[in-house]
Amino acid sequence: MDHQTHSQQASTLQWRMQSDVYDLYLTASSVGLTSILTTPRAVAMSRSMTDDLPQVRILAQAVTELEQYFAGVRTKFDVSLAPEGTPFQMAVWQQLRGIPYGKTCSYKEIAAAIGQPKAVRAVGSANGRNPLCIIVPCHRVIAADGSLGGYSGGLDLKSRLLDLEKKKAKH
User: What is the residue type of 110?
Assistant: I
Residues in the chain: 171
In sequence order, the β-bridge partners of residue 141 are: 105
Instruction: Give percent helix, percent strand, percent coil of the chain, each to the nearest 5.
Output: 40, 15, 45
| Residue 138 bears catalytic tag | yes
**Residue 85: DSSP 8-state:** -
**Alpha-carbon span 47 to 38, nearest angstrom:** 19
**For 29-146, where are the E strands, in sequence order?**
33-37, 44-45, 105-106, 141-142
Catalytic residue among 26, 99, 138, 141: 138
Give the number of other CB atoms < 10 A from CB of residue 93.
22
Catalogue the active-site residues. Answer: 138
